[in-house]
Structure 1
Amino acid sequence: MSFKITGTGSYLPPLSVTNDDLSKTIDTSDEWIKQRIGINERRVSADENTSEMGYKAAKKALEMSGTSPDEIDLIITASMTGDYLCPTTAGGIERLLGAHCPAYDINSACSGFVFALETAAGYFARKKVKKALVVGSERISKITDWTDRNTCVIFGDGAGAAVLEPGDSYIASHINTEGSDEVINIPTGTNLSPYYKKETKDCRIFMDGQETFKFAVSTMAGDISRLAEEANVLLGDIKYIVPHQANVRIIQYASKRLKIPMEKFFVNIQNYGNTSAASIAIALDELNRTKGIEKGDLIIMTAFGGGLSSGSCLIKW
Structure 2
Amino acid sequence: MFLHALGHFHPPNLLTNAFLEELGLETSDAWILERVGIRSRHTVLPLDYLRQTRNRDVRAAQEAALFSNAQTGAHAARVALERAGLKPSDIGLVVAGGCSPDECIPAESNRVAQELGIDAPAVDLQSACSSFCTQLHFLTGMRPERLPEYVLVVNMDNSTRVVDYTDRSSAVLWGDGSSAAVLSARVPGRWRITETRLAGDPSGADKVRVPRIGHFTQHGAEVQKFAIRRAGETFLELRADYLARHPDRGAGDVTFIGHQANLRMLEAVQRRCEVPESRHFFNVHVRGNTGAAGAPGVLSEHWDDPGLGDALVLSVVGSGLTWAGALLERT
Q: Same fold (TM over 0.5)?
A: yes
In structure 2, distance between residues paired with 1:115 and 1:141? 23
Deviations 1:74-130 (A, max 9, x none): 111121222211111111110111111111112211101111122222345444221
After TM superposition, the score normalised by the length of structure 1 is 0.90
Contact 1:300-1:313 at 8 Å conserved across structures: yes
Q: Which of the numbers 158, 175, 182 marks the counterpart of 2:198?
A: 175
Picking from 204, 207, 213, the partner of 2:224 is 213
Partner of residue 36, structure 2: 37
3-state DSSP of counterpart to 1:174: strand
Deviations 1:161-188 (A, max 9, x none): 1111234811111111211223212222
1:230 aligns with 2:253: no
Measure, in 2, the Cα distance between the counterparts of 1:158 and 1:12.
5
Match for 1:71: what amino acid? D
Give the superposed CA RMSD: 1.7
- Following superposition of structure 1 onto structure 2, how do residues 41-60 of structure 1 map, counting pairs within 5 Å? 41-46=40-45, 47-60=66-79
Q: Which residue does 2:302 correspond to in 1?
A: 287
1:133 corresponds to which residue?
A: 152
Corresponding residue for residue 85 of structure 1: 104
Contact 2:260 2:294 in 1 (8 A): yes
Q: Return the letter of the residue paired with 1:150.
A: S
Matches of 1:124 and 1:39 in 2, distance apart? 41
In the alignment, structure 1 residue 278 sits paired with structure 2 residue 286: no
Query: Is the alpha carbon distance of 1:235 and 1:273 closer, same or farther for their aligned partners in structure 2, counting shifts above 3 Å?
Result: farther
- Choose from 94, 106, 112 the match for 2:131: 112
Query: Is 1:149 the equivalent of 2:168?
Result: yes
Deviates more, 1:51-60 or 1:258-267: 258-267
Counterpart Cα distance in 1 of 2:221 and 2:279: 25
* Structure 1 residue 237 displacement after superposition: 5.3
More helix by share: 2
The yes-or-no answer on 1:305 pairing with 2:324 is no
Matched-pair contact (CA < 8 Å) for 2:256–2:275:
no
Distance 1:45 1:146, change over 3 A: same
Instruction: Output the CA distance in 2 between the equivalents of 1:80 and 1:87.
Output: 16
- Given candidates 275, 292, 309, the residue that maps to 1:260 is 275
Amino acid of the residue matched to residue 217 of structure 1? Answer: I
1:187 aligns with one of 211, 232, 241: 211
- Identical amino acids, percent of aligned pairs: 28
Residues 120 and 132 in structure 1, CA contact (< 8 A), matched pair in contact too = no
Gaps of 5+ in 2: 46-65
1:97 alignment partner in structure 2: 116
> CA separation in 1, counterparts of 2:312 and 2:143?
20
Counterpart AA for 1:272 = R
Structure 1: which amino acid aligns with 2:319?
G
TM-score by length of 2: 0.86
Contact 2:72/2:177, CA 8 A, preserved across alignment: yes
1:158 aligns with 2:182: no
**Residue 43 of structure 1 contacts residue 157 of structure 1 at CA under 8 Å; is this kept in 2?**
yes
User: Shift of the alpha carbon at 1:22?
Assistant: 0.3
Q: Which amino acid aligns with 1:92?
A: R
Check whether the contact 1:138–1:158 (CA below 8 A) recurs between aligned residues.
yes
SS of residue paired to 2:303: helix
Kindly state the Cα deviation for residue 143 of structure 1 after the two structures are TM-superposed: 1.1
